Protein backbone atom coordinates (compact mmCIF):
# COMPACT_ATOMS: atom_id res chain seq x y z
CA UNK A 1 0.00 0.00 0.00
CA UNK A 2 2.81 2.45 0.92
CA UNK A 3 4.47 1.78 -2.43
CA UNK A 4 1.22 2.63 -4.25
CA UNK A 5 0.77 5.87 -2.29
CA UNK A 6 4.32 6.94 -3.14
CA UNK A 7 3.89 6.10 -6.83
CA UNK A 8 3.72 8.77 -9.53
CA UNK A 9 0.36 7.43 -10.72
CA UNK A 10 -1.14 7.85 -7.25
CA UNK A 11 0.12 11.44 -6.96
CA UNK A 12 -1.10 12.34 -10.45
CA UNK A 13 -4.50 10.75 -9.76
CA UNK A 14 -4.73 12.60 -6.45
CA UNK A 15 -4.04 15.88 -8.24
CA UNK A 16 -6.83 15.19 -10.73
CA UNK A 17 -9.13 14.15 -7.87
CA UNK A 18 -8.57 17.50 -6.13
CA UNK A 19 -9.47 19.28 -9.36
CA UNK A 20 -12.51 17.01 -9.58
CA UNK A 21 -13.52 18.04 -6.06
CA UNK A 22 -13.53 21.73 -6.97
CA UNK A 23 -14.98 21.23 -10.44
CA UNK A 24 -17.85 19.10 -9.14
CA UNK A 25 -18.70 21.71 -6.51
CA UNK A 26 -18.86 24.43 -9.16
CA UNK A 27 -20.93 22.21 -11.48
CA UNK A 28 -23.41 21.46 -8.68
CA UNK A 29 -23.74 25.14 -7.78
CA UNK A 30 -24.33 26.02 -11.42
CA UNK A 31 -26.91 23.25 -11.90
CA UNK A 32 -28.84 24.34 -8.80
CA UNK A 33 -29.92 27.50 -10.62
CA UNK A 34 -31.13 25.52 -13.63
CA UNK A 35 -33.35 23.03 -11.81
CA UNK A 36 -37.10 23.15 -12.26
CA UNK A 37 -39.32 23.26 -9.17
CA UNK A 38 -40.30 19.61 -9.68
CA UNK A 39 -36.68 18.55 -9.85
CA UNK A 40 -35.85 20.55 -6.72
CA UNK A 41 -38.64 18.85 -4.82
CA UNK A 42 -37.44 15.44 -5.95
CA UNK A 43 -33.89 16.20 -4.78
CA UNK A 44 -35.17 17.44 -1.42
CA UNK A 45 -37.05 14.16 -0.96
CA UNK A 46 -33.91 12.16 -1.72
CA UNK A 47 -31.18 14.06 0.16
CA UNK A 48 -32.98 16.51 2.43
CA UNK A 49 -32.07 19.83 0.81
CA UNK A 50 -30.90 21.37 -2.44
CA UNK A 51 -27.65 22.45 -0.79
CA UNK A 52 -26.71 18.80 -0.18
CA UNK A 53 -26.11 18.50 -3.91
CA UNK A 54 -22.78 20.25 -3.46
CA UNK A 55 -21.00 17.97 -0.93
CA UNK A 56 -22.45 14.86 -2.58
CA UNK A 57 -21.20 16.02 -5.99
CA UNK A 58 -17.79 16.85 -4.53
CA UNK A 59 -17.31 13.41 -3.01
CA UNK A 60 -18.62 11.59 -6.07
CA UNK A 61 -16.56 13.73 -8.44
CA UNK A 62 -13.33 13.29 -6.49
CA UNK A 63 -13.70 9.51 -6.18
CA UNK A 64 -14.73 9.01 -9.81
CA UNK A 65 -11.90 11.19 -11.08
CA UNK A 66 -9.29 9.47 -8.91
CA UNK A 67 -10.35 5.97 -9.96
CA UNK A 68 -10.59 6.90 -13.65
CA UNK A 69 -7.19 8.61 -13.56
CA UNK A 70 -5.43 5.83 -11.66
CA UNK A 71 -6.74 3.06 -13.96
CA UNK A 72 -6.38 5.26 -17.03
CA UNK A 73 -2.71 5.92 -16.35
CA UNK A 74 -2.04 2.17 -16.15
CA UNK A 75 -3.94 1.53 -19.40
CA UNK A 76 -2.31 4.46 -21.21
CA UNK A 77 1.14 3.15 -20.44
CA UNK A 78 0.24 -0.20 -22.02
CA UNK A 79 -0.81 1.39 -25.32
CA UNK A 80 1.81 4.13 -25.71
CA UNK A 81 -0.42 7.00 -24.61
CA UNK A 82 0.82 9.59 -22.16
CA UNK A 83 -0.08 12.60 -20.02
CA UNK A 84 2.94 14.73 -21.02
CA UNK A 85 3.11 17.84 -18.85
CA UNK A 86 6.11 19.13 -20.82
CA UNK A 87 5.76 22.40 -22.73
CA UNK A 88 5.71 22.03 -26.52
CA UNK A 89 5.12 25.22 -28.54
CA UNK A 90 3.87 23.40 -31.64
CA UNK A 91 1.51 21.29 -29.54
CA UNK A 92 0.11 24.43 -27.89
CA UNK A 93 -0.50 26.05 -31.28
CA UNK A 94 -2.21 22.89 -32.57
CA UNK A 95 -4.33 22.70 -29.42
CA UNK A 96 -5.48 26.30 -29.77
CA UNK A 97 -6.25 25.79 -33.47
CA UNK A 98 -8.33 22.67 -32.78
CA UNK A 99 -10.09 24.50 -29.95
CA UNK A 100 -11.01 27.42 -32.21
CA UNK A 101 -12.30 25.14 -34.97
CA UNK A 102 -14.36 23.11 -32.49
CA UNK A 103 -15.81 26.28 -30.94
CA UNK A 104 -16.58 27.77 -34.36
CA UNK A 105 -18.37 24.61 -35.51
CA UNK A 106 -20.41 24.36 -32.31
CA UNK A 107 -21.48 27.99 -32.08
CA UNK A 108 -21.86 28.40 -35.84
CA UNK A 109 -24.05 25.30 -36.06
CA UNK A 110 -26.32 26.57 -33.28
CA UNK A 111 -26.65 29.93 -34.99
CA UNK A 112 -27.08 28.89 -38.61
CA UNK A 113 -28.35 25.30 -38.55
CA UNK A 114 -30.13 24.49 -35.29
CA UNK A 115 -31.42 27.94 -34.27
CA UNK A 116 -35.05 27.06 -35.08
CA UNK A 117 -34.91 24.15 -32.61
CA UNK A 118 -33.43 26.22 -29.77
CA UNK A 119 -36.23 28.34 -28.25
CA UNK A 120 -33.94 30.20 -25.83
CA UNK A 121 -31.52 31.32 -28.53
CA UNK A 122 -33.62 34.37 -29.43
CA UNK A 123 -33.16 35.76 -25.92
CA UNK A 124 -29.49 36.42 -26.67
CA UNK A 125 -26.34 35.40 -24.85
CA UNK A 126 -25.67 36.30 -21.23
CA UNK A 127 -22.14 35.60 -20.02
CA UNK A 128 -21.85 33.53 -16.84
CA UNK A 129 -18.55 33.37 -14.99
CA UNK A 130 -19.74 30.22 -13.20
CA UNK A 131 -20.53 28.54 -16.53
CA UNK A 132 -17.05 29.43 -17.80
CA UNK A 133 -15.41 28.10 -14.64
CA UNK A 134 -17.35 24.83 -14.98
CA UNK A 135 -16.32 24.60 -18.62
CA UNK A 136 -12.65 25.15 -17.81
CA UNK A 137 -12.37 22.79 -14.83
CA UNK A 138 -15.07 20.16 -15.29
CA UNK A 139 -15.11 20.18 -19.08
CA UNK A 140 -11.45 20.88 -19.67
CA UNK A 141 -9.93 18.66 -16.99
CA UNK A 142 -12.39 16.13 -15.56
CA UNK A 143 -14.09 15.18 -18.82
CA UNK A 144 -10.69 14.67 -20.43
CA UNK A 145 -9.61 12.40 -17.58
CA UNK A 146 -12.84 10.39 -17.81
CA UNK A 147 -13.28 10.28 -21.59
CA UNK A 148 -9.74 10.38 -22.96
CA UNK A 149 -7.44 9.06 -20.22
CA UNK A 150 -9.80 6.31 -19.09
CA UNK A 151 -12.35 5.50 -21.82
CA UNK A 152 -10.19 6.07 -24.90
CA UNK A 153 -7.21 4.29 -23.34
CA UNK A 154 -9.49 1.38 -22.45
CA UNK A 155 -10.77 1.12 -26.03
CA UNK A 156 -7.24 1.18 -27.44
CA UNK A 157 -6.12 -1.47 -24.95
CA UNK A 158 -9.08 -3.76 -25.80
CA UNK A 159 -8.62 -3.39 -29.56
CA UNK A 160 -4.89 -3.94 -29.16
CA UNK A 161 -5.55 -7.24 -27.41
CA UNK A 162 -8.05 -8.28 -30.07
CA UNK A 163 -6.53 -7.02 -33.31
CA UNK A 164 -2.93 -5.83 -32.93
CA UNK A 165 -0.40 -7.78 -34.98
CA UNK A 166 2.05 -7.89 -32.08
CA UNK A 167 2.35 -7.03 -28.41
CA UNK A 168 4.71 -4.15 -29.18
CA UNK A 169 3.00 -1.03 -27.86
CA UNK A 170 5.23 1.14 -30.04
CA UNK A 171 3.71 -0.28 -33.23
CA UNK A 172 -0.06 -0.32 -32.63
CA UNK A 173 -1.88 0.29 -35.92
CA UNK A 174 -3.19 3.81 -36.38
CA UNK A 175 -6.73 2.67 -37.12
CA UNK A 176 -7.00 1.27 -33.59
CA UNK A 177 -6.40 4.74 -32.14
CA UNK A 178 -8.84 6.31 -34.60
CA UNK A 179 -11.61 3.85 -33.72
CA UNK A 180 -11.00 4.51 -30.04
CA UNK A 181 -11.09 8.27 -30.65
CA UNK A 182 -14.47 8.08 -32.43
CA UNK A 183 -16.00 5.64 -29.95
CA UNK A 184 -14.95 7.73 -26.94
CA UNK A 185 -16.31 10.89 -28.61
CA UNK A 186 -19.59 9.15 -29.50
CA UNK A 187 -20.01 7.79 -25.98
CA UNK A 188 -19.35 11.22 -24.50
CA UNK A 189 -21.95 12.76 -26.82
CA UNK A 190 -24.52 10.06 -26.02
CA UNK A 191 -24.14 10.70 -22.30
CA UNK A 192 -25.39 14.24 -22.94
CA UNK A 193 -28.71 12.99 -24.36
CA UNK A 194 -30.65 12.74 -21.06
CA UNK A 195 -29.80 16.34 -20.09
CA UNK A 196 -30.57 17.49 -23.65
CA UNK A 197 -33.98 15.82 -23.52
CA UNK A 198 -34.77 17.54 -20.23
CA UNK A 199 -33.64 21.03 -21.23
CA UNK A 200 -34.28 21.28 -24.99
CA UNK A 201 -36.35 18.33 -26.19
CA UNK A 202 -36.03 14.98 -27.89
CA UNK A 203 -36.78 15.70 -31.54
CA UNK A 204 -34.59 14.08 -34.19
CA UNK A 205 -32.76 17.36 -35.08
CA UNK A 206 -31.99 17.91 -31.39
CA UNK A 207 -30.58 14.39 -31.09
CA UNK A 208 -28.41 14.99 -34.15
CA UNK A 209 -27.26 18.31 -32.67
CA UNK A 210 -26.35 16.67 -29.36
CA UNK A 211 -24.38 13.86 -30.96
CA UNK A 212 -22.55 16.00 -33.54
CA UNK A 213 -21.75 19.08 -31.47
CA UNK A 214 -20.73 17.16 -28.34
CA UNK A 215 -18.75 14.67 -30.39
CA UNK A 216 -16.95 16.94 -32.85
CA UNK A 217 -14.58 18.41 -30.28
CA UNK A 218 -13.86 14.98 -28.87
CA UNK A 219 -12.35 13.85 -32.17
CA UNK A 220 -9.83 16.68 -32.07
CA UNK A 221 -9.15 16.21 -28.35
CA UNK A 222 -8.64 12.49 -28.87
CA UNK A 223 -6.17 13.14 -31.67
CA UNK A 224 -4.22 15.46 -29.38
CA UNK A 225 -4.18 12.85 -26.60
CA UNK A 226 -2.81 10.30 -29.06
CA UNK A 227 -0.19 12.47 -30.70
CA UNK A 228 0.75 15.04 -28.04
CA UNK A 229 -0.49 13.81 -24.67
CA UNK A 230 -3.44 14.30 -22.32
CA UNK A 231 -2.22 17.70 -21.15
CA UNK A 232 -2.80 19.10 -24.64
CA UNK A 233 -6.27 17.60 -24.99
CA UNK A 234 -7.00 19.37 -21.69
CA UNK A 235 -5.61 22.64 -23.07
CA UNK A 236 -7.73 22.29 -26.22
CA UNK A 237 -10.94 21.38 -24.36
CA UNK A 238 -10.58 24.25 -21.89
CA UNK A 239 -9.65 26.72 -24.64
CA UNK A 240 -12.72 25.65 -26.62
CA UNK A 241 -14.88 26.95 -23.77
CA UNK A 242 -12.90 30.19 -23.72
CA UNK A 243 -13.42 30.75 -27.46
CA UNK A 244 -17.09 29.83 -27.21
CA UNK A 245 -18.07 31.89 -24.19
CA UNK A 246 -15.77 34.90 -24.47
CA UNK A 247 -15.49 35.32 -28.25
CA UNK A 248 -17.92 33.48 -30.51
CA UNK A 249 -21.15 33.30 -28.49
CA UNK A 250 -21.18 37.08 -27.86
CA UNK A 251 -20.75 37.61 -31.61
CA UNK A 252 -23.12 35.01 -33.07
CA UNK A 253 -25.71 34.62 -30.31
Q: How does residue 165 score in pLDDT terms, banded at 50, 70 and 90?
A: confident
Look at residue 248 in the predicted model and tell me its pLDDT: 96
| pLDDT exceeds 70 at position 233 | yes
Predicted local confidence at residue 2, as pLDDT: 61
Give the whole-angstrom CA distance, residue 17 versus residue 19. Answer: 5
Residue 147 has pLDDT above 90, yes or no: yes
Residue 192: helix, strand or coil by DSSP? coil
> How much of the chain exceeds pLDDT 70, in percent?
97
Separation of alpha carbons 62 and 152, rounded Å: 20
- Tell me the C-alpha distance between 184 and 73, whole Å: 16
Average pLDDT value over all residues in the chain: 92
Confidence label for 198 from pLDDT (cuts 50, 70 and 90): confident
- The pLDDT score that the predictor gives to residue 164 is 83
Instruction: State pLDDT tens for residues 40-79.
Output: 788 888 888 888 999 999 999 999 999 999 999 999 999 9
Contact between 74 and 214 (Cβ < 8 Å): no
Q: Are 94 and 228 in contact (CB under 8 A)?
A: yes
Query: Which of the pair, 211 or 124, is modelled with greater confidence?
Result: 211
pLDDT digits (tens, 9 = 90+) for 103-117: 999 999 999 999 888
Q: Which residues of 136-147 are buried (b: 16+ CB within 10 A; e: fewer)?
A: bbbbbbbbbbbb
Q: Can you list the pairs that 175-179 forms with residues at least 24 positions away whose Cβ atoms lie under 8 Å? A: 177/226, 179/155
Q: How far apart are CA 174 and CA 156, in angstroms?
A: 10
What single string gives the DSSP state of each residue in 51-62?
GGHHHHHHHHHH
How many beta carbons lie within 10 A of that of residue 86, not counting itself?
10
How far is residue 46 from each of residues 61, 63, 64, 200, measured CA to CA in Å? Answer: 19, 21, 21, 25
Amino acid sequence: MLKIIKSKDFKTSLFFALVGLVASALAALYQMDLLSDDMKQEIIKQVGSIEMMVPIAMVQGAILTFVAAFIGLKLARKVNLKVNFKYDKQAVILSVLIAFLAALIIVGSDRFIFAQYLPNLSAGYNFSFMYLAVGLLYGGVIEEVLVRLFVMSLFVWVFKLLFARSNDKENIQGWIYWIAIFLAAALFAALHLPVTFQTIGSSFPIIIRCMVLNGIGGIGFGYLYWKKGLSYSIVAHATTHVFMQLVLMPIFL
